[in-house]
Structure 1
């Protein structure tokens, strides 16, 4: 979907983006689909009219996100810092949604742009939890040093989950899309259970940063939910890859 006329109104660009939006798979993260994608659409329309390239939008996303991550690691936790961290992470996530939409407005993305987007995503997912570990070590009155393992293990879960999803798509593309994602319909209850795996919902948890033990408990529950989701996903993904090998 290319818009050649730079005088096209902001509202028209937003409407065209809404009409050309990617189809959401059943069970897709609700915040990412119903909130972040829509906010990203508004940002994409503005960025397009401002003449920003998709890579420039990615750079803005990275700047906002890593500013939030640095706040977690370096600024003593307080109610206002929790709100600031959430705003920076949430805005960074919205700009992350916008870069691909800007690429569609300009006629399609590039391999370099997709590479940059994925590298930034990989860096933020690991850095976020490492920053939590640093904050816990520096600022939290933890009952035991064993609690520091929580963000470190969360780093592993996030990295494996992200790499697994990316690798699944790459292998499917390399094999001609043989075992394309065909998830069955999921119930509303199932979608709600998957809320903790939504990065946008995780960003909201940082509003609790001013109350360290409350944050730690909420963060720990999110870790358990993500660990459980990964444990369920890995055998399913492996089975899909086995089926892909049979079909190719």
Structure 2
């Protein structure tokens, strides 16, 4: 029987003991997970999670902190006038919010496991973030960018749709796999660096970094448009693969004794 960690037992360990515990208990990253999320965000989140755990914060507390940083950034993006300082501030707030988003699950692991309500809250906050971020770009483009063609406004609108569909499809994948193949073995294939690098434009951390260019609207718009195209192409390819995966789940269900 696995003993659930308690605050009393945690008090006898140092902060770095807690970090090491998290490191050894870290879930393996998906085979093609983009590099920023794996090598930067997850590691920063680990240090934040260790601190939050030792302060007695719950996973929901950490999710709320993530939401505050993230939605402050989105609000500033929507109402502020584009500038270099605003771009750097938006990037930092989004990046910190993203790190705390990684930390909440790690805090749950330290406390012995998460809860359905915590997972629900985490996903709801993520869904709001994913949609409103691109709508904030739409507002600032319409209000402040010297656009020569209003067709450029279709880029953040399209990005909103792509991000929402991607998020929903990935959540649905997990739900259907848990329902139809709960005993299927977890893939032990090694991480593919090539596949990971190809997914770099879809990494939320890269999108956050792009806002540093807000002080140069044409440069930001160019990079943002390239990220949108890359994400749309990636989604198109991923949907085909995910549909084939779901088809295989159906075959497993039919042939199950």
**Normalised by the shorter chain, which TM-score bucket?**
over 0.9
Match of 2:238 in 1: 233
Task: Tell me the matched-pair count.
Answer: 248
Match of 1:78 in 2: 83
Match of 2:5 in 1: 3
Report the more deviating stretch, 25-34 or 183-192.
Answer: 183-192
Match of 2:168 in 1: 163
Q: Report the Cα offset of residue 209 of structure 1.
A: 0.8
Question: Which runs of structure 2 are paired with 1:30-179 in the superposition (5 Å)?
Answer: 30-177=35-182
Assess if the C-alpha contact under 8 Å between 2:181 and 2:249 holds in 1: no
User: Are the structure 2 counterparts of residues 41 and 185 from structure 1 closer, same or farther at C-alpha, using a change threshold of 3 Å?
Assistant: closer
After superposition, give the CA deviation of every residue in 1:99-158 in whole Å (9 maximum; x if it has no partner): 000001111000000000000001100000000000000010011111001000000000
Aligned: 1:15 with 2:20: yes
Match of 1:219 in 2: 224
Aligned: 1:188 with 2:193: yes
Instruction: Please report the TM-score for the alignment, with normalisation by the length of structure 1.
Output: 0.96
How well do the aligned residues superpose, as a CA RMSD in angstroms? 1.6
Q: Distance in 1 between matches of 2:240 and 2:184?
A: 15
Q: Report the Cα offset of residue 217 of structure 1.
A: 0.3
Instruction: Please report the TM-score for the alignment, with normalisation by the length of structure 2.
Output: 0.93
Assess if the C-alpha contact under 8 Å between 1:2 and 1:104 holds in 2: no
After superposition, give the CA deviation of every residue in 1:168-203 in whole Å (9 maximum; x if it has no partner): 000011113366774965653332221011101110
Assess if the C-alpha contact under 8 Å between 2:53 and 2:110 holds in 1: yes
SS of equivalent to 1:86: helix
Q: Distance in 1 between matches of 2:185 and 2:224?
A: 33
- Structure 2 gap segments, 5+ residues each: none
Q: Distance in 1 between matches of 2:209 and 2:247?
A: 37
SS of equivalent to 2:28: coil
Q: Distance in 1 between matches of 2:110 and 2:139?
A: 40
Assess if the C-alpha contact under 8 Å between 1:27 and 1:185 holds in 2: no
SS of equivalent to 1:65: helix
